[in-house]
Structure 1
Amino acid sequence: MLKAHIVLSDLSHHAEWRDGLITVGKSRITPHAHPMLEALLVRTQGQWFMTVRERRVATAPDKTIACRDVDTEQFSRLYQECALWPLDYLMIEVAQAGCRMRVRTGVLGSVPVYCHARNDEVTLSWDFADFAAHPLAIDTEIASHRLALHTVYSARQLCVGVNLLTERASFYVEPGKASYRYPAPAPDTIPSPLPQGRDALTAFSELLHQAVSVRPIAADRISVELSGGMDSATVASAMATFHQRIASKGILLDGDVRQPQIQRRQLIANRLNLSDETVEITAFPPSLDLQRQPGQARGLYWEYYLEACAALWDSSLAQGRDVLFTGIGGDELFPAYADETQEKNGKEPGWRDDARHCAEQLLTPRALSVARSLRSFDAPTSPVPVTALLAHACRGPDLLRHGLWPVNPLSDPSLVAFCHRLPRDDRQGREVMRQYLHARLGSEVFPRGYTKETFAQVLPELISRQAETLATQLRDCALADLGLVDQRAALRLLNTVATTRAQAPTAALASFLWLERCVRQIN
């Protein structure tokens, strides 16, 4: 949400707005410029804070930047208002005496910010490329867990010293010192009966509609991702409640899922009166090249389908649509608890176990020992599920580079908490979401057992066609040089995927190739 380079000794100076950024001595804080965001600088005797945050409906449309000089009482009131802001935000607080500062973040994690403190200088940025100009060391413990297909949401990242500001976290800095503090864990949720006279569908609809309408957005600035699945269709249906002729964007897949996906998209677009646009995955295949291309942004996260997504994002921006609504978070809305019989979905649990086994076969004994150790660095339980936060982190920076601001209504904490507490019958099979969609689209769009869209066959086919090139590039393996991966095992796994196109080894190989590419970008 911002970029900043701050020399701590500068914090004794007065903070000023100049040409869209805050200057403090020679230090600079630059809020990300987007109509969905507003920035505020509040100063009082001896201290100041600034925040960049998402706009709410009540925000004046022309209020982009504000600077206020206030007394102590007003300062405290404005500070509390910003700290409790219900949408995404980032805040920097400064005490001029002692040149101390704290950076804190909101709960949504729409676009994460990274931080690095060195030699009494602090760098903050949503773009990891801003840290890659200097030599960085790889955190081999983090890398080992990622190679083993473990889900890791943590302040610690792939590069030593570059921390992710996780949701609700705080980063404290003063001359000679820096510390990171996680928030208290979010309360556990357990299923509970709905209040008497309250039905699940009505409450779900109200919370969803609140999540999509809280920001001041005109219909001609909105795009909605539409894959053909239930999550994106739910968001599109909710948006159509408030706006006419919304633009929907999606990637058309190939193979057996293609025709069902096309038919569902057509039904959804017709019944919601969407202006629908698609691109073919075959026209924008994922890049498997392990070498960083000229002009390519360095990053800790890499979206395999960025090429096709970018084509749609550029189209949206060309149409003046700079806000993208997504279905991220839908997979996490309806968990099964330990005392419940979880629905089986084909061979998915076994497939995941097989993928982890394939991934572990890549690791050296040292890396495998680390990957099997208990972790002590994970962020605490959050109001937004971890996998949704990781999806935000993966895609957010690329969206900002393309001029778009992401909105993920199904990750809204109030909606998440409600759905997690629903009785089993309302959660199982996404029952309440299914009822919502049936009421708006008809029961035939998402019948039980419908053929789901999936990217599962895209990478196996692509890897098979490019196996020789990948094998050549893997003769020099950065992860092997770090002592984390057995290079011969990596080549064997590549051959397995090329000959079998099986899903489990593909998942392990794709994760390895992603991390190999990241390490090459960094070193």
Structure 2
Amino acid sequence: MLSFRLRLADIQGIGWRWDTDRWASGESWIRPAHAAVLDAELVQCQGAGVCALVREDKDGEADYTSLLLRPDEVQVSAGVFGTAPMYLVAVGEELYGSWDLAELRPHLRPDRLNSRAVARTLSRQHRYGADTLFDRVYRLTERATAVFTPAGLTIVYPEPAQHVLQPRSLRAGVDPVDAFDGLLTEVVAEWRSTTGSVGVELSGGADSGNVALSTAAAGFGAVHTFGLLMDGRIGLHQRDRRRVLVDHLGLQDTAVSAMQHAPFAPGGVRGSRLPHDPAGAFYQEAFDVVRAQAAARGCEVIFTGGGGDEVNAHHSRTTAELPTADPIPWFGDKATQALAQVNENLAPIPVLPVPTLMAFGLHNPAYLKLGIWPVAPLVHPRVVRFMEQLPHQHKRDKMMFRDRLRRAGLPESVAAPTEPENFLAVMESGLRTYGFPLLDDMLRESLLVDLGYVDPDALARARDHAERAPVVPDLLCDTLALEVGLRSLA
């Protein structure tokens, strides 16, 4: 939500002034993100100190990032939602922070990586904590506080969030579909008084379909929908589902062909070697086009279906075990050794589901660059708590979500599609068309190989096998994306 450069020598007094798009004092500055629905203020705190706060300007519980500046001390704190990440790096007596990792490029060393984070990225064993790919660059996790003094930077974690560990029985006469309908629409409507045009990411699935239902019912002036269309038979069915939803709700739709913006395609962030987060989502090129369409239509808020899988998951937070990852043939010695540490230095249990928070970090900064604030109503804390208490039979195969779509008058093909969309064919096309030449380049010169994370001979064998195989191993995409991303910041 904000970016800053803070020198301890500049924060001794209260001489902050507004300059164009930021507060400034000496060589220090604090710049709020420019999304229209964020409210920013800098005030004198009780006692000695200055407080800077950037928060969602809406009814109800809001996401925020705050700075507390006192002589020889900076405190950076985050709220529970984790909508936008916050990355921090200390250099001497200066603290730099941003929600956009590429903004910290002068302080990122692609040759000095966090081995644990690299192994997580290459093996797709993502974890939520302070680690980033770069040594001494940290992520501020939800509800955490970073404290910076002349002694250095420390992260203070909160207590683990409390959750409902077992479902409860419904009272007689309670209709969970009606209760969910009212709750989700209420959460979406919190934005009604603060924004004009809004958008919805609409894939054609049950998660985004339910968010679209609530957005249409919340009483916004103009609602646009945006989505990626797949190719082939699955894409035809997806196109039909989206058309039925849009026509039924009276929304204004824009569709983007995903195959035309496959991973590593020319003109995309990776193909153009633009500075970007190396851990960015594999579908970033396609969604960048969706985001540009949303910005062109003046959307200030975009509602997403993020978290639908997680809130419908059938497990207890105390007994769930992560699956053991299969060995990756092209792992180098350094990555193999670091695999033993992937479960170290984790943040405490958060309020929102961990996979959702991880996805926010990959998906949301690109929206914020365009001044659009992304909102995932399905993981609002009130919705999360409701879903935790819901008996499992209403969550199995997203039964309650699908029943709500049926009750809204939508056909079975929308409520429970037989062939839901996925991005695998687009990923495969991108790897075959654009990725293999980049892999060949990587085999000639590679940061990951030089640093010992990738075995070049094993990678060459995997590349040759993939060219002949009917299906390309999708983890090759993760390896190549990490290499390209690191080079973009070198």
2:218 is aligned to 242
1:46 is aligned to 48
2:279 to 280, 298, 301: 301
| Post-superposition offset of 1:231 | 1.0
Q: 1:17 to 1:196 in 2, by over 3 A?
A: farther
Matches within 5 A, 1:156-305: 156-188=131-163, 189-216=165-192, 220-243=196-219, 246-287=223-264, 296-305=274-283
Q: 1:94 to 1:218 in 2, by over 3 A?
A: closer
- Matched-pair contact (CA < 8 Å) for 1:360–1:368: no
Q: Secondary structure at the match of 1:9?
A: helix
2:476 to 509, 517, 523: 509
Letter of the 2:42 counterpart: L
1:311 is aligned to 289
2:365 is aligned to 397
CA distance in 1, matches of 2:208, 2:48: 48
- Matched-pair contact (CA < 8 Å) for 2:33–2:371: no
2:91 is aligned to 118
1:56 is aligned to 58
Q: 1:178 to 1:325 in 2, by over 3 A?
A: same
| Post-superposition offset of 1:324 | 1.2
Matches within 5 A, 1:21-170: 21-43=22-44, 44-57=46-59, 86-96=61-71, 99-136=72-109, 137-170=112-145
2:18 is aligned to 18
| Post-superposition offset of 1:295 | 7.2
Deviates more, 1:231-240 or 1:471-480: 471-480
Letter of the 1:323 counterpart: V
Listed one character per residue, the Cα deviations across residues 186-206 of structure 1 (whole Å, up to 9, x for unaligned) are 124221223454332222122
Listed one character per residue, the Cα deviations across residues 235-289 of structure 1 (whole Å, up to 9, x for unaligned) are 1111010236521111111122011101101110111111111121233232267
CA distance in 1, matches of 2:257, 2:68: 47
Listed one character per residue, the Cα deviations across residues 96-132 of structure 1 (whole Å, up to 9, x for unaligned) are 3xx2121100111111111111211010111112211
- Matched-pair contact (CA < 8 Å) for 2:270–2:485: no
- Matched-pair contact (CA < 8 Å) for 1:465–1:498: no
CA distance in 2, matches of 1:263, 1:250: 13
CA distance in 1, matches of 2:190, 2:7: 37
- Matched-pair contact (CA < 8 Å) for 1:10–1:25: yes
Q: 1:448 to 1:283 in 2, by over 3 A?
A: closer
2:455 is aligned to 486
| Post-superposition offset of 1:185 | 1.0
Q: Secondary structure at the match of 1:117?
A: strand
CA distance in 2, matches of 1:394, 1:462: 19
Listed one character per residue, the Cα deviations across residues 305-364 of structure 1 (whole Å, up to 9, x for unaligned) are 33332222222222222321111111111111269xx9xxxxxxxxx87xx42x522212
Letter of the 2:40 counterpart: A
| Post-superposition offset of 1:216 | 3.8
- Matched-pair contact (CA < 8 Å) for 2:195–2:300: no
Listed one character per residue, the Cα deviations across residues 11-51 of structure 1 (whole Å, up to 9, x for unaligned) are 11114341342223331111112210001222144122110
Deviates more, 1:9-18 or 1:194-203: 194-203
Q: Secondary structure at the match of 1:234?
A: helix
2:422 is aligned to 454
TM-score (structure 1 length as normaliser): 0.86
CA distance in 1, matches of 2:420, 2:272: 37
1:498 is aligned to 467
1:330 is aligned to 308
Task: Name stretches of at least 5 consecutive residues in structure 1 with no aligned partner.
Answer: 58-84, 343-351
| Post-superposition offset of 1:440 | 1.5
CA distance in 2, matches of 1:165, 1:195: 40
Q: Secondary structure at the match of 2:95?
A: strand
- Matched-pair contact (CA < 8 Å) for 1:301–1:393: no
TM-score (structure 2 length as normaliser): 0.91
| Post-superposition offset of 1:467 | 5.7
Matched-pair identity in %: 28
- Matched-pair contact (CA < 8 Å) for 2:102–2:489: no
| Post-superposition offset of 1:406 | 0.8
Q: Secondary structure at the match of 1:133?
A: helix
- Matched-pair contact (CA < 8 Å) for 2:432–2:467: yes
2:330 to 362, 373, 385: 362
Q: 1:148 to 1:222 in 2, by over 3 A?
A: same
| Post-superposition offset of 1:449 | 5.6
CA distance in 1, matches of 2:62, 2:288: 26
Determine if the alignment matches structure 1 residue 421 to structure 2 residue 385: no
CA distance in 1, matches of 2:13, 2:424: 55
CA distance in 2, matches of 1:190, 1:433: 20
| Post-superposition offset of 1:294 | 5.8
Q: 1:463 to 1:272 in 2, by over 3 A?
A: same
RMSD of Structure 2 on Structure 1 (CA): 2.7
Deviates more, 1:104-113 or 1:492-501: 492-501
CA distance in 1, matches of 2:353, 2:115: 25
Q: Secondary structure at the match of 2:54?
A: strand
Q: Secondary structure at the match of 1:249?
A: strand
Q: Secondary structure at the match of 1:52?
A: strand
Q: 1:406 to 1:298 in 2, by over 3 A?
A: same
Q: Secondary structure at the match of 2:58?
A: coil
Task: Name stretches of at least 5 consecutive residues in structure 2 with no aligned partner.
Answer: none
Listed one character per residue, the Cα deviations across residues 68-91 of structure 1 (whole Å, up to 9, x for unaligned) are xxxxxxxxxxxxxxxxx8211001
Letter of the 2:202 counterpart: L
CA distance in 2, matches of 1:15, 1:328: 42
Letter of the 1:422 counterpart: L
Matches within 5 A, 1:376-415: 376-415=344-383
Determine if the alignment matches structure 1 residue 442 to structure 2 residue 410: yes
- Matched-pair contact (CA < 8 Å) for 2:431–2:477: no
Q: 1:285 to 1:511 in 2, by over 3 A?
A: closer
CA distance in 1, matches of 2:346, 2:452: 24
Q: Secondary structure at the match of 1:152?
A: coil
- Matched-pair contact (CA < 8 Å) for 1:335–1:420: no
CA distance in 2, matches of 1:513, 1:26: 38
| Post-superposition offset of 1:491 | 2.2
Deviates more, 1:11-20 or 1:212-221: 212-221
1:433 is aligned to 401
